């Protein structure tokens, strides 16, 4: 009886030791992975900051102004170019009146045909 | 008792003598282990879940310096990680070879100095070059020189260069703030800086400035053009939100590049708006008007005798645009009459005048977030002549920023709001505001400002920024050099606001010693240089700030004409 219990204990000790060892091993692996991921994240974050700074440098107002002058025909907005939404109708060119002769036959029927295809 | 009894029982059965003692030991050990396991379970499971990540914070390194961005999130200052190269001279085997290899990659390094550094075997650590780019670092690394190493360092970078340099300030090589907002983040603003920190993630949120990068650039660009055109020595300009006290743009030329702090050491590139104090001249007159109207000493219908120069003791006060007649209040404003304004101040009283200027904050140092703030220069004895000259802005020198923040109070309904360089909401600003003058007085001042742009000395600005309903006051102050006013050295300024019926923004433009030109018919007064410059600035920034233009019929016609000419 005692022998059986003892051997069971030894066996369970071995099993436990193996489990602990393998757990520790896999945890170390995980820790390495985590450390690597953290390092990657930090490096990526640093790269993002670097690119942010570069973007900001490339889009700084004085540079954009120089480039716009060189390559675009745009000018600063003048006061008379602002139009309030209510006043849009007086500024937009009039909408051309529909010309019934342009489409022969029944225009709505044609549209429906177009839908069926 | 029970143990003794059972012991006796065992004795009687004749078992081994030590067995019971053994059992006692086993019991003791099991108890110990039970306690240990219970403690383990408590520590690892119960506490671990309850405390979360609390315990980790102490291990974190120094928190990174916050980025600085403008009010729209445009990056103005950030930290970048760079490499710095150092050497241990004791470990360097061949100094000549090392020097040759390093200078081949870094040709700007002084080879003689480097040789001396590396030959000094007493030291175990010398910097070779700090702050090198990643590509250069890998090149140097590939040389494989023994005794040479790299250390990661933080470099403060200002990607927008000179933009808003005077607001940002700069840092030293160890990333400590030396000037501007950078210094504020380290010193008085440390609580604000700490509020940006997120210690769990070891990051910080950006510090939002009140500056709008686009407006800042437009102001700097127009001022630079004006400096060149009028051959001025320097220029400065501020745009301030009239209702929140936020500084939207602040430019002082000549400026410097914060990426190169040495360029900031030049005495010419000081911030003229806070570090310098000036006799602002006529742009202070509206303060006198507001005082006289607010105290009830005059109404908009009062008149002032400007037929004769005003004699005070030995001094005589003249008018620049002398009309030699009795002037109404609006006329005193548009002709910028010194005599009329001085009479106003005298009508209110000397002590009252002094008290009003104190209430405006002109007698104490204004300190927003920028540490570079100069104390005003106020005459020690305040007599009748002091009040007379102070009425038109002479005899006392203040920071121009003080001038504009009081002007904001004159037009925004009378609320004096301390200016700020950090983004602030309208409610927070109202909490800080004090009622400086009555709202009705502010209305009268608005009328005078607009009148001066339609009929007075600020007409050129109104023409250039047609539709934005600007108003303002000009100032041409002779400069004081060694205690004497010099006639042909002027500090010209324009202080204004737009749109005048409900001012959203106030603006100040200053030109230091602009020269008379053929195009200005030999004149060098403010109306010929500071005013048109301000007009151009407003025409550029008003659309950026969301101020909707309203053109009058006449202005529409002239815009139409211009369009046709272009086509």
**In Å, how far is A33's CA from the nearest CA of chain B?**
19
More confident residue, B384 or A88: B384
Q: What is the CA radius of gyration of chain B?
A: 35
Q: Is B64 on the interface with A (CB under 8 A)?
A: no
ipTM of the complex: 0.73
Residue B556: exposure state from Cβ atoms within 10 A (0-12, 13-18, ≥19) = middle
Task: Give residue limits of the domains in chain A.
Answer: 1-71
Q: Residue B160 has which token pair?
A: 């927008």
- Please state the pTM of the whole predicted model: 0.78
Q: Give the pLDDT score at B8.
A: 52
Cα B442 to Cα B410: distance, rounded to the nearest angstrom: 5
Q: Give the pLDDT score at A33.
A: 95
Cα B305 to Cα B323: distance, rounded to the nearest angstrom: 10
CB contact under 8 A, B543 and A77: yes
Q: Residue B24 has which token pair?
A: 């006692």
Residue from the list B157, B163, B466 with its beta carbon closest to the beta carbon of A61:
B163
Q: Give the pLDDT score at B246.
A: 94
Cα B470 to Cα B489: distance, rounded to the nearest angstrom: 28
Q: Is B251 on the interface with A (CB under 8 A)?
A: no
Neighbours of B198 (CB within 10 A): 10
> Smallest Cα–Cα separation from B448: which of B293, B350, B329, B539?
B329
Q: Give the pLDDT score at B245.
A: 92
Tens of pLDDT along chain B (567 residues)?
Answer: 445 555 555 555 556 677 888 889 999 999 999 999 999 988 877 776 665 555 444 444 567 888 999 999 899 999 888 888 888 888 888 888 888 888 888 888 888 888 888 888 888 888 888 878 777 888 888 888 888 888 888 888 899 989 999 999 999 877 888 889 999 988 888 888 888 887 777 778 889 999 999 999 999 999 999 999 999 999 999 999 999 999 999 999 899 898 888 887 887 888 888 888 899 989 999 999 999 999 988 999 999 988 888 888 888 888 887 788 899 999 999 999 999 999 999 999 999 999 999 999 999 998 888 888 889 999 988 889 999 999 999 989 999 999 999 999 999 999 999 999 999 888 888 888 999 999 999 999 999 999 999 988 888 888 888 889 999 999 888 887 777 777 778 899 999 999 999 999 999 999 999 888 887 787 878 888 999 999 999 999 999 998 988 887 777 777 777 766 655
Best of B64, B76, B155, B157 to substitute, by most chain A Cβ atoms within 10 angstroms, is: B157
Give the chain A residue whose CA is nearest to the CA of B562.
A80
- Give backbone dihedrals phi and psi of B344, rounded to 5 degrees, phi first: -60, -50
Q: Give the pLDDT score at B565.
A: 66
Q: Give the pLDDT score at B15.
A: 60
Q: Is the pLDDT of residue A75 over 70?
A: yes
Cα B67 to Cα B168: distance, rounded to the nearest angstrom: 11
- Give backbone dihedrals phi and psi of B80, rounded to 5 degrees, phi first: -120, 150
Which domains are present in chain B? 68-208 (3.90.1310.10), 216-261+268-562 (3.40.710.10)
How many residues make up chain A in this entry? 117
Give the chain B residue whose CA is nearest to the CA of A44.
B81
Q: Is A117 on the interface with B (CB under 8 A)?
A: no
Residue from the list A55, A61, A80 with its beta carbon closest to the beta carbon of B551:
A80
Q: Give the pLDDT score at B59.
A: 41
How many residues make up chain B in this entry? 567
Cα B173 to Cα B153: distance, rounded to the nearest angstrom: 10
Give the chain B residue whose CA is nearest to the CA of A54.
B159
DSSP run (H or E) holding B90: none
Q: Is B74 on the interface with A (CB under 8 A)?
A: yes
């Amino acid at each position: 009886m005692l022998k059986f219990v003892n051997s069971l204990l030894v066996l369970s000790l071995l099993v436990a030791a193996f489990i602990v060892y393998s757990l520790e091993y896999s945890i170390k692996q995980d820790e390495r992975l985590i450390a690597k991921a953290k390092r990657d994240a930090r490096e990526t974050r640093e790269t993002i900051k670097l690119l942010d700074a570069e973007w900001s440098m490339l889009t700084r107002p004085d540079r954009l102004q120089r480039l716009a002058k060189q390559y675009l025909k745009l000018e600063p907005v003048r006061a008379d170019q602002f139009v309030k939404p209510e006043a849009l109708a007086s500024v937009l060119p009039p909408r051309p009146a529909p010309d019934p002769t342009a489409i022969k036959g029944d225009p709505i029927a044609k549209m429906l045909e177009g839908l069926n295809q | 008792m029970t143990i003794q009894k059972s012991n006796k029982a065992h004795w009687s059965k004749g078992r081994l003598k030590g067995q019971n003692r053994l059992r006692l030991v086993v019991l003791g050990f099991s108890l110990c282990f039970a306690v240990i396991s219970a403690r383990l379970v408590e520590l690892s499971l119960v506490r671990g879940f309850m405390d979360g990540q609390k315990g980790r914070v102490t291990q974190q390194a120094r928190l990174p310096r916050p980025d600085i961005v403008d009010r729209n999130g445009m990056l103005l200052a950030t930290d970048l990680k760079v490499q710095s190269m150092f050497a241990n001279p004791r470990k360097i085997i061949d100094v000549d070879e090392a020097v040759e290899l390093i200078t081949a990659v870094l040709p700007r390094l002084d080879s003689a100095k480097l040789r001396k550094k590396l030959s000094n075997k007493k030291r175990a650590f010398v910097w070779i070059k700090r702050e090198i780019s990643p590509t250069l670092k890998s090149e140097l690394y590939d040389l494989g020189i023994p005794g040479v190493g790299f250390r990661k360092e933080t470099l403060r970078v200002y990607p927008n260069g000179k933009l808003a340099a005077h607001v940002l300030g700069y840092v030293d090589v160890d990333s400590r703030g030396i000037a501007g907002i950078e210094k504020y983040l380290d010193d008085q603003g440390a609580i604000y800086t700490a509020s940006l920190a997120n210690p769990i993630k070891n990051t910080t949120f950006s510090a939002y400035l009140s500056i709008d990068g686009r407006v800042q650039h437009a102001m700097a660009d127009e001022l630079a053009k004006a400096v060149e055109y009028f051959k001025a020595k320097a220029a400065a300009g501020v745009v301030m939100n009239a209702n929140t006290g936020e500084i939207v743009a602040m430019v002082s030329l000549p400026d410097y590049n914060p990426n190169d702090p040495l360029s900031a050491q030049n005495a010419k590139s000081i911030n003229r708006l806070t570090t310098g104090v000036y006799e602002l001249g006529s742009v202070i007159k509206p303060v006198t008007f507001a005082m006289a109207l607010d105290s009830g000493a005059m109404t908009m219908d009062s008149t002032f005798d400007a037929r004769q120069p005003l004699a005070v003791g030995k001094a005589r006060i003249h008018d620049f645009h002398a009309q030699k007649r009795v002037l109404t209040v609006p006329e005193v404003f548009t002709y910028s009459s010194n005599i009329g304004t001085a009479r106003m101040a005298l009508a209110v009283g000397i002590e009252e005048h002094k008290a009003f200027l104190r209430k405006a904050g002109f007698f104490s140092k204004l300190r927003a977030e920028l540490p570079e703030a100069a104390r005003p220069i106020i005459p020690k004895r305040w007599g009748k002549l002091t009040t007379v000259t102070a009425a038109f802005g002479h005899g006392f020198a203040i920071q121009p920023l003080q001038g504009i923040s009081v002007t904001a109070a004159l037009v925004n309904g009378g609320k004096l709001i301390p200016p700020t360089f950090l983004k602030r909401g309208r409610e927070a600003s109202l909490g800080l505001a004090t009622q400086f003058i009555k709202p009705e007085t502010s209305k009268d001042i608005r009328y005078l400002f607009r009148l001066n742009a339609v009929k007075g000395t600020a007409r050129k600005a109104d023409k250039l920024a047609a539709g934005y309903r600007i108003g303002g006051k000009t100032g041409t102050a002779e400069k004081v050099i060694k205690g004497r006013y010099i006639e042909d050295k002027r500090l010209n300024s324009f202080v204004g606001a737009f749109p005048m019926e409900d001012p959203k923004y106030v603006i100040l433009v200053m030109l230091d010693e602009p020269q008379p030109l053929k195009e200005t018919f030999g004149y060098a007064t403010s109306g010929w240089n500071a005013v048109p410059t301000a007009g151009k600035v407003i025409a550029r920034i008003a659309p950026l700030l969301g101020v909707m233009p309203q053109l009058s019929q006449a202005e529409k016609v002239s815009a139409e004409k211009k369009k046709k000419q272009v086509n």
